[in-house]
Amino acid sequence: MVGRTGHISRRRGTSTVELAMVAPLLIFLLFGIIEFGLMVKDLVGVNQAAREGARCAAVGATPATLDARIAGAAPTINGDSLQKTYEYRAFDEASGTWGEWQALTDDGVENTAESGDQIRITLRYPHRLVTGGLFAGIADDPDGGTITLNTAIVMQRE
């Protein structure tokens, strides 16, 4: 019996060593999955906000109105952190190409893009990594622990 008991305790020790070797990898993977899920959640919010802004711009909304609509369309992200760019470009019938992107402005009533022009809403959002330094290697700003999420939506002015 003494030999048998000694054999069981050696097996238990092996399991503990195996767990100690595998546990850090499993924890790292778990935190990676959580971080990726939070990043995708923010990216979906940024995409939704850009789509809402492009849709409003397509019907003539002014840049000030776009700011409010974009902030309201993304309640899960910090709207103050969004970097927004509103642009438009016209199609040149003579050359058959699109012109250069220009800043979208307004005349006090609606935006200055004409019917048929393309309008592009570009949003950039600094997503803060909740895991801090664990995934700082993928961050745009390793010291700040952020990665920039970008999206651009183009729609035609109605």
Amino acid at 113: A
Closest CA to 47 of 133, 124, 132: 124
In this prediction, residue 143 carries a pLDDT of 79
Chunk the chain into consecutive blocks of 10 residues (it has 158) and report each block's average pLDDT, rounded to whole numbers.
54 82 93 93 96 97 96 89 97 94 96 97 94 77 86 97
- DSSP of 82-109, one letter per residue? -EEEEEEE-EETTTTEE---EE--B-SS
In this prediction, residue 83 carries a pLDDT of 97
In this prediction, residue 96 carries a pLDDT of 94
Closest CA to 82 of 44, 122, 112: 122
CA triple 54-59-63, angle to 5 deg: 60
In this prediction, residue 1 carries a pLDDT of 43
In this prediction, residue 75 carries a pLDDT of 86
Provide the number of structural domains found in the chain: 1
In this prediction, residue 76 carries a pLDDT of 87
Across the strands, what pairs with 103? Answer: 87
**Domain span holding position 77:** 2-156
Specify the 3-state DSSP secondary structure of 120.
strand
